[in-house]
């Protein structure tokens, strides 16, 4: 979510770092405004893996939907069946601003997201990475 995190991944041997969630709060991201607000307020332990929405494991912000159906998670059908079964629920929830019924996908570092324009975020991450990388 920042240059230090990217540097840590590279120093540990990664070839790259994926920062999808870092860009969800950018003005260019076309996600529900309430989703952006939830990302900004998410704590370190505010996300978890679930297959309740789609039938495939994905990490998202913990919602009432996830908590209430957690006891049945191993019983849901696989993707794409579960995805089709919950599709109308998710669409209606978005239209009704019922965030607790939406799939609010986000990575573990969600709370560190910054509401910067995407180009500015890329430049900021690059600057942070240059500062954080060990000198050779």
Mean pLDDT for each 10-residue chunk of the chain (136 residues)?
Answer: 96 96 97 96 96 98 98 97 97 96 96 97 98 88
**Residue 104 φ then ψ, to 5°:** -100, 75
What whole-number distance in Å separates Cα of residue 33 and Cα of residue 25?
Answer: 9
Q: What is the pLDDT at residue 15? A: 97
Dihedral, CA atoms, 76, 79, 83, 84, nearest 10 degrees? -100
């Amino acid at each position: 979510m920042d240059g230090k995190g990217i540097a840590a991944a590279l120093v540990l041997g990664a070839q790259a770092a994926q920062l999808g969630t870092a860009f969800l709060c950018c003005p260019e991201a076309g996600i529900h405004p309430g989703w952006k607000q939830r990302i900004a307020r998410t704590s370190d332990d505010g996300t978890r893996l679930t297959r309740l929405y789609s039938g495939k494991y994905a990490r998202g912000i913990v919602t009432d939907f996830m908590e209430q159906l957690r006891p049945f998670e191993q019983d849901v059908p696989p993707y794409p069946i579960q995805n089709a079964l919950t599709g109308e629920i998710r669409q209606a929830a978005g239209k009704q601003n019922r965030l607790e019924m939406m799939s609010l996908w986000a990575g573990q570092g969600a709370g560190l997201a910054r509401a910067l324009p995407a180009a500015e975020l890329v430049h900021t991450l690059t600057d942070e990475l240059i500062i954080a990388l060990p000198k050779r």
